[in-house]
Structure 1
Amino acid sequence: MTRLTRQLAKTCLVISLSGSALAYAGYDQHSRFNEFAAELEKEYQIPPAETRRWLAESKKLDSVLEAIARPAEKTLEWDSYQDIFLTSKRIEGGKAFMAKHAGLLAAAEQKYGIPKEIITAIIGVETFYGSRQGSYRVLDSLATLAFDYPKRPIFWRELKAFFSLAKEENLDPATVKGSYAGAMGYGQFIPTSFLAYAVDGDGDGQRDLWANPADAINSVANYFNVHGWRAHEPVVQRARVSGNQYQQAVNDNLKPKWTVAKLAAMGVSTIEPANAEDPASLVKLIGKQGAEFWLAHYNYYVITRYNHSRLYAMAVYQLSEALKQ
């Protein structure tokens, strides 16, 4: 090997090693780091040096990018979706959760006006009553989505909020676990929801949604209260359709833009009576026996504020009904 050849080989090795280092570097090395750090400092007063230290520990997770591309709500119909969330095991688990935390649930219902069955059903659908909170480091999940998933700039905002809540709650960002999308705790709050709706349910000075049922239960109840849950009003009921006019209202909008009376004029009828002037929407799901039609009241819409999916809202509602029995 000539001297020139040896020098070229060394140069290639250096380039190769530096390329590998960059490939596996934390997001503190990303080209948009300075932009992110400047926004974080402006919005949450977190110094860029601290942001760099945190993001230096982050890792890109291809599994997160794969998971975010195929959410269950977009790949399943109701006939399969209900088999996941309306099992006898989940129902019995919910009853056990309600029995164990009866006092906390009763107090939250009294304070916020949210039925204990709805609170429990949310936690049951989200994490099987706290037992499946997610194994991803939230730092890695949100950094991956914020910097390498351009279709969802929302995660840029969520990563900033995550650093803020970590600061507020005195948490090490590198130790917090959650879902592939950065949702955390019993109720799977994303960081902006944590900052806005998480509450200290037992007065210990901390909002611990991972290990403290009092905080988790009260935070879910507070979320629904702030989003306009209407106490003692219905959620959804079976409907019948006739003619063709109803088709213009099928799954047209999550937020009700019709009234019960207007839907009735389009050929939508229900078994149970409903106030003619109440806001409502017409939901069509594909169940095990084919198409199902449901008259959805305002509280159904409130459930979709937690997860923007008709399937999710129906699973929560039907699980809550099973927990009443």
Structure 2
Amino acid sequence: MTYTRRFVTFAIAGLYLAGCQSGGATQSATRPAASSAMRAAPNAAFDRWVVGAKARATARGISSATVTRAFRNVGYLPGVVERDRNQTEFVRSFEDYMAIAASDDRIAKGRAMLRKHAGLLSQLQAKYGVEKEVIVAVWGLESRYGERRGDVPVISALSTLAFDGRRGKFFEGQLMAALKILERGDVSADRMTGSWAGAMGHTQFIPTSYLAYAVDFGGDGRRDIWSDDPTDALASTAAYLSRSGWKRGQRWGDEITGRAPSGRGRVVKPAGDSGPVFEVYHNYGVLGRYNNAQKYIIGVGHLSDRLVGRPALRASFGPDENGMTLADRKALQRGLTRAGYDVGEADGVIGKKTLQAIEAFQRARGLPVTGKPSQALLTQLQ
């Protein structure tokens, strides 16, 4: 089986889009404490497994000193197993995914990053032939431009997943690759943090892909994708896409509305017969090498378009099961915000915060507490 950079999950970026990333705070030079959901728990069987894993690592040529440092504070993380068994990305609709991936806030921050890192991005575009807006779009979906890089100790996370056994061989391979990264001195064990599934840094490389594609663009002798400075992470992403066959100057795809396909690519309908239709080209497949989830590929492509001023999707998804369109849901969220309730960003996606806000509003007004969005509720909020 051929693994893309992120076979680890259906779309690890969906963790950030769905708000279920284990971290949340920007990661500094020293590792912050992992969130309470990712605390280690005693597990004698895991401890025995670690003994064997350490022996297998040294048999592969990893030094005893590196193995000792890497496993010094290793622990079994039940929260990692829970996340692996209950990945919410599978249920998010394409409409909701796109609403979050190319939200007004994500677009505004991405344009700010294009300005802030203009010099670096121009160098990367010239060296690797990957458009700067594409690099930034990947960054935006992977970690919200570095804000959510993950605070879970990677050695503990990968050891837990390898021990758990559901994809044990794959995750043990990632663990051994992580140990090689430590051996090379690119990062210390206490700074090697990432997502619950072992994806690391600003653009969430898994260890094997890091070994294959990461670059030291900053010239300090380390390929540092973990620090606050995104230089090496963005360069590594550009290098990955370049080596995967990215063709500069070519589109990833186009939404086709009211016209026939040009015949240059193939047609995809991510929302079925309702919603937008795209004609996709060679670079669509290259983005699929980075992450092969259709939602993710189109999310990156569309966000990159919006960052340089191309229009929003034109096709309508129509009303949802509550009779509300995306515009209605955004208006509902803005109304709740005006009324003093926290819904997060008004992106039109009805998540936990919005549902809690609806319940609180209904309770405060003496209304039946249904927790459901509706046109009637929208009218009251307006």
Per the normalisation by structure 1, the TM-score is: 0.75
For the pair shown, the structure with the greater C-alpha radius of gyration is 1
Deviations 1:141-197 (A, max 9, x none): 111111114235311110110111012125332442211111111111111111111
- Structural mapping, 1:240-279, within 5 Å: 269-270=260-261, 273-275=262-264
Match of 2:4 in 1: none
Match of 1:257 in 2: none
Query: Are 2:54 and 1:37 aligned?
Result: yes
* Aligned-residue CA RMSD (Å): 2.5
User: Distance in 2 between the 1:109 and 1:136 partners?
Assistant: 32
SS in 1 for 2:271: strand
Change (3 A) 1:70 1:81: farther
User: Distance in 1 between the 2:48 and 2:65 partners?
Assistant: 15
User: Distance in 2 between the 1:103 and 1:155 partners?
Assistant: 37
User: Distance in 2 between the 1:170 and 1:318 partners?
Assistant: 33
- Structural mapping, 1:118-197, within 5 Å: 118-151=134-167, 153-169=169-185, 171-197=187-213
Query: Are 2:108 and 1:92 aligned?
Result: yes
Q: CA deviation at 1:205?
A: 1.1
Query: Are 2:246 and 1:229 aligned?
Result: yes
Deviations 1:54-106 (A, max 9, x none): 33521111111121223344221211111221111111110111111000000
The residue type equivalent to 1:283 in the other structure is V
Match of 1:70 in 2: 86
Moved more, 230-239 or 160-169: 230-239
Change (3 A) 1:222 1:50: closer
Change (3 A) 1:218 1:54: closer
User: Distance in 2 between the 1:216 and 1:129 partners?
Assistant: 11
User: Is the contact made by 2:287 and 2:297 (CA closer than 8 Å) also made in structure 1?
Assistant: yes
Match of 2:299 in 1: 315
User: Distance in 2 between the 1:293 and 1:170 partners?
Assistant: 43
Per the normalisation by structure 2, the TM-score is: 0.65
User: Distance in 2 between the 1:181 and 1:31 partners?
Assistant: 19
User: Distance in 1 between the 2:121 and 2:88 partners?
Assistant: 29
Match of residue 281, structure 2, among 294, 297, 312: 297
Identify the structure with bigger relative contact order (alpha carbons < 8 Å, sequence gap 6+).
2
Match of 1:82 in 2: 98
Instruction: Please identify which structure carries the higher helix content.
Output: 1
Change (3 A) 1:23 1:204: closer
User: Distance in 1 between the 2:69 and 2:43 partners?
Assistant: 16
The residue type equivalent to 1:229 in the other structure is W
The residue type equivalent to 2:260 in the other structure is S
User: Distance in 2 between the 1:237 and 1:209 partners?
Assistant: 32
Query: Are 2:265 and 1:283 aligned?
Result: no
Structure 1 stretches of 5 or more lacking a match? 1-21, 242-267
Structure 2 stretches of 5 or more lacking a match? 1-40, 310-382
Q: CA deviation at 1:292?
A: 3.2
Percent identity, please: 34
The residue type equivalent to 1:232 in the other structure is G
User: Distance in 2 between the 1:76 and 1:30 partners?
Assistant: 38
User: Distance in 1 between the 2:216 and 2:50 partners?
Assistant: 35
Instruction: Please identify which structure carries the higher strand content.
Output: 1
User: Distance in 2 between the 1:197 and 1:140 partners?
Assistant: 23
